[in-house]
Copies of this chain bind each other. A is one copy, B any other.
Amino acid sequence: MNLDSAGLQVLDRAECMVLLSSVPVGRIVFTDRALPAVQPVNFLVVENHIVIRTGRGSKLAAAARDAVVAFEADEFDAERWTGWSVTAIGQARAVVAPGEIERLSRLPLTAWAPGDRDHYIVMRIEEVSGRRIRDRVTRR
């Protein structure tokens, strides 16, 4: 088992992709007026891309256009002090081609938030890394 300097288990790319695909909500991290910003979103992993559905006029839609962003998903268990976190980095782009919007709208990707969510942001996963905190019992 590969551990980092902090004693966390380092996940390989395949594990990261499986975990990333296993949860419905992640967090996109971007810069908004020179300040760090973070917003939870519903998403899907499609091949090597993260697809996010949002509102056309949203702060996210404006800020994540053609920017390098981070995307994080995790799951933690407060009883067992265990969990995992995966972070992807990549270039985000707003989808503007009608054909691509039509294709993406057929994905099983529903935004939990109300309102029109007919805008898609696609992020190409360029780097992905992940860590797992092992169970207190099994790591002893």
Contact = CB atoms under 8 A, between A and B. Distances in A.
Interface of A: 5-8, 24-25, 27, 29-31, 35-40, 55, 57-58, 68-70, 72, 74, 76, 78, 81-83, 85, 87, 89, 112-115, 133-134, 139
11 contacts: A7-B113, A7-B114, A8-B113, A27-B74, A29-B38, A30-B36, A31-B36, A35-B68, A35-B70, A40-B76, A40-B83
Q: What's the dominant secondary structure at chain A's contact region?
A: strand
Contact of A87 (B38, B55, B58, B78): B38
B70 A36 contact: yes
B81 A112 contact: yes
Given A6-B58, A37-B87, A40-B85, 20 more contacts: A5-B57, A5-B115, A6-B113, A7-B113, A25-B74, A25-B78, A27-B38, A27-B72, A29-B36, A36-B69, A36-B89, A38-B72, A39-B85, A40-B72, A40-B74, A40-B76, A40-B83, A82-B112, A83-B112, A114-B139
